[in-house]
Each structure stands twice: as structure tokens, then as C-alpha cells.
Amino acid sequence: MVTQSLVSDGNGRWTEYAGGYTDWVALRPKAETPPTERAERSERAERSGRAPRRKLSFNEQRELEGLPGAIDALEREQHEITGRMSLPDYHRSGPERIRADRRRAEAIEHELAQKFERWSALEQRVQQEKGPA
């Protein structure tokens, strides 16, 4: 689970926000720049009741196809670490091993949350491409 995000505000400034990407989108300051032609088209589409459609790029499509396998691999590794940490004599493996396993388990949690969030975002875009059924 994502508890905080570090976001570049431009000009070398970074700001910390509580929560993940969707929380940042809701909290981020509005841009002071005048709307561009693309933004105006997007606003017109929103007013007309439909969002602008944008297909997934080739790289995004490949990423979407690879996400289930990557998630599965992370979950298998997480299961192995949990199994190892659950052994009755695990405490005898030494403090370095215990710390390394704990750090990796935390990293896996973070990576899984990111991958699930990305998967959801890409799937939403695919559904938007298809339009109403």
C-alpha cells in the first residue's frame, strides 16, 4: 500500500504528498498556464459528456500484457519469504538475513501496490477505448 508520494513540481522542487498517485491527482495544485488547444478539446469533450479517447501506445500495451506475469512472480517471491520467515528456527538465520528478508518483503509490498495501480489505470484506458457497450 502506498502511504506517500514524492512528486516533482518542476524547477528542481519536490513535494511530498500523502497517499498514492490518485491522491496526488486530487490534491495537486492547479496549473496556472492558459489552456492549450488540446486542453480545450478535452474540456469540450467533457462538457459533451464523453471523455477523449486515447489508445494505448505499443509500449503501454506490452506493459499491460506483462503485468500479470510480473505480479505473479512478485507474489511467489513474497510467498517464499513469508514461508521462510514462518519457520520455527528462522531466528537462527542471523540478524543480517532477517533484516534483508524484512526489507525485501516491504519492497515487494510497495512494488505490488504500484503494479496493481498501473494495471488498473491501463485497464481503465482500455475500457474507455471500447466505449459504452
CA 84 to chain centroid: 28
- pLDDT tens profile 64-111: 999 999 999 999 999 999 999 999 999 999 999 999 999 999 999 999
Asked if residue 19 belongs to a domain, the reply is no
CA distance 72 to 67: 8
Contact 74, 111 (CB under 8 A): yes
In the predicted model, is pLDDT for residue 115 greater than 70?
yes
pLDDT, one tens digit per residue, over 32-67 is 555 566 666 666 666 665 555 678 899 999 999 999
In a domain, 28, yes or no: no
Query: What are the pLDDT digits (tens) for 10-20?
Result: 677 777 777 77
Task: Flag whether 7 is in a domain.
Answer: no
Work out how many domains the chain is built from and give that number: 1
The CATH number that applies at residue 125 is 1.10.287.380
Residue at 116 is within a domain: yes
Question: Residue 17: inside a domain, yes or no?
Answer: no
Q: Is residue 18 part of a domain?
A: no
In a domain, 10, yes or no: no
- Give the Cα separation of 81 and 39 in Å (integer): 47
Residue ranges with strand state E in the chain: 4-10, 13-18
78 within a domain of the structure (yes/no): yes
Residue 84 belongs to domain spanning: 55-130
